[in-house]
Each structure stands twice: as structure tokens, then as C-alpha cells.
Amino acid sequence: MSVLETFAHITFESILLPSKLPDIPEMGGYVFFSGIVRNVNEGKKVTHLEYEAYVPMANDTIRKILLDAKEKWDLLHADCIHRLGKLNISEIAVIVETGSMHRAEAYAANRYIIDRVKHEVPIWKREFYLDGSSEWSQGCSHETQH
């Protein structure tokens, strides 16, 4: 067994698109969201990102958000994984999966989870620009429109 503690909702590895659905016969709707590294932010050309976190607290905060979502909606499946470290353009930074009997719950819960993850989970993004400079992102005060 590894001496490194592992966390269900935090990874330093590439996040891949799932190749199959969760095996839940009652599930009639499944929503998959991925947040992806894009090559521009606020007009500046971005070359790559680095994410860091207060890992144990970030993992626990995501776990609590998922539990809250399961209390609010009848979900058969809910998961969220955030990647840390250096990420290149078009790589996946975060995924949220929700599944329910009907689509409405899965859509609503998925949006709820990603919105809370962005605002509450202690994870921070540093943007590296084409001109060689870099900057810590100043939080997500206007992220809801983006």
C-alpha cells in the first residue's frame, strides 16, 4: 500500500472522458460536465495553467457539496474530480457527473455542484501567458456569466 494518502475527488493525473456509464439500471438521465483549460482569459493569451489546493480540505469540501446535492435532488449518481498541477490547453481541469431517473434532476444538480465547487473549494489557478508572465486568478466573482 502506498504511504501517500489518496483523495477521491482530487487528482494529479490526466482526467479522461468516461468510456462507459455508471452501472445503475434505474438511471434514465446522466449529465457530464467538464471544465477545460482554454487558451485565452480576459483578452490575454494563456499557454498553460497550474492549480494548487489545500488538498485534504478541498477533497472534504467537494464531498460535502456532493452530499448536499444528494439531499436536494433524487440522484442515483454524483461525482466530482478536480485535477491539480500543470495543465495544458484543452486538458480537463474538473468533471462533474450526475445521474437520476429523469433528466431534470441530473441537469439541476450538475449545475449546482460545479457552481459551488468554483466558489467554495480551496483550489487556486495560476495562469501563464504567452508573454512569459503569470498571475494568480483573482477568484470567480464574475464566473457565473462565463
Partner 1 sequence: MFVQVLFFAAMKDHFSSQERLELTEESNVRGLRDFLLERKPEASSLLQVSRFAVNQVVVGDEFILQEGAIVAVLPPSSGG
CB nearer to partner 1: pick between 38 and 102: 38
What is the total count of residues that contact partner 1 (CB under 8 A)? 30
Distance CA 64, CA 7 (A): 14
Strands 85-88 and 123-129: unpaired
30 touches 113 (CB < 8 A): no
The residue to which cell 498553460 is assigned: 48
CB nearer to partner 1: pick between 64 and 102: 64
Distance of closest approach, residue 110 Cβ to partner 1, in angstroms = 13
**DSSP letters along 84-141, please?**
-EEEETT-EEEEEEEEESSHHHHHHHHHHHHHHHHHHS-EEEEEEETTS-EEE----T
Q: Is 107 exposed, middle or buried (0-12, 13-18, 19+ CB in 10 A)?
A: middle
Residues 25-54, interacting with partner 1 (CB under 8 A): 35, 51-54
Which of the ranges 23-31, 67-75, 101-109, 122-130 carries the binding residues for partner 1, by CB under 8 A?
A: 122-130
CB nearer to partner 1: pick between 76 and 97: 97
Selected binder of partner 1 within 65, 66, 75, 114 (CB under 8 A) = 114
CB nearer to partner 1: pick between 19 and 144: 144
**Which residues have CB under 8 Å from 35's CB, separation 6+?**
92, 93, 94, 95, 114
Distance of closest approach, residue 144 Cβ to partner 1, in angstroms = 11
Under the binding rule (CB under 8 A), the answer on residue 56 touching partner 1 is: yes
Contact footprint for partner 1 (CB under 8 A)? 35, 51-54, 56-58, 60, 82, 93-94, 114, 117-126, 136-141, 143
